[in-house]
């Protein structure tokens, strides 16, 4: 079967929206510094903060068999954000987790159905072209 076009890398703005990066210390209201280990630290009181990616990674280290619903419940990270992290290979879910399915065309992890959104749209567009007589049997 034809492969759908690869998903482009996320934009910086899209990534930032999902990371929900802490910017300011909740105690001192001072701008945080990003550390190399993924944490954010207040230069004034040394308070440590995490973005959504670090929270998800830590949760999965402590709960490797967690379902996506359990991750959402345990971290308060939106499901859409977790799927974004999975689709962009920022976190991985072990194969033992039975709450995920795989796209029949490209192998991307999906929550439900047979195809990911990219492959479903690609297939729909190809079918529309065939119906309209614009054959593209490459």
Which structural domain, as residue segments, surrounds residue 132? 100-138
Same domain, yes or no, for 64 and 104? no
Backbone phi and psi for residue 50, each to the nearest 5 degrees, phi listed first: -130, 150
Alpha-carbon Rg for the chain in angstroms? 19
Identify the weakest region by mean pLDDT among 3-7, 89-93, 113-117, 126-130.
3-7
Quick check: 16 and 36 in contact, CB under 8 A?
A: no
Query: What is the Cα–Cα distance from 34 to 41, expressed in whole angstroms?
Result: 6
Same domain, yes or no, for 94 and 105? no
Same domain, yes or no, for 29 and 68? yes
Angle between helices 79-87 and 12-19 (to 10 degrees): 130
Same domain, yes or no, for 113 and 81? no
> In this structure, is residue 95 part of a structural domain?
yes
**With bands split at pLDDT 50, 70 and 90, how would you rate the model's confidence at 47?**
very high
pLDDT digits (tens, 9 = 90+) for 58-111: 998 898 888 788 888 999 999 888 888 887 778 877 654 556 666 778 777 776
Query: Total structural domains in the chain?
Result: 2
Query: What is the Cα–Cα distance from 62 to 49, expressed in whole angstroms?
Result: 18
């Amino acid at each position: 079967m034809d492969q759908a076009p690869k998903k482009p890398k996320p934009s910086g703005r899209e990534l930032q929206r999902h990371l929900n990066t802490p910017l300011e210390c909740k105690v001192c209201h001072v701008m945080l510094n990003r550390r190399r280990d993924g944490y954010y630290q207040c230069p004034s009181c040394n308070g440590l903060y995490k973005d959504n990616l670090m929270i998800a990674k830590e949760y999965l280290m402590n709960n490797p068999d967690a379902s996506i619903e359990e991750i959402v419940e345990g971290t308060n990270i939106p499901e859409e954000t977790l799927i974004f992290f999975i689709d962009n290979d920022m976190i991985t879910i072990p194969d033992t987790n039975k709450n995920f399915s795989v796209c029949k065309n490209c192998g991307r992890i999906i929550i439900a159905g047979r195809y990911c959104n990219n492959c479903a749209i690609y297939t729909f567009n190809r079918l529309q072209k065939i119906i309209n007589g614009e054959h593209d049997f490459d």
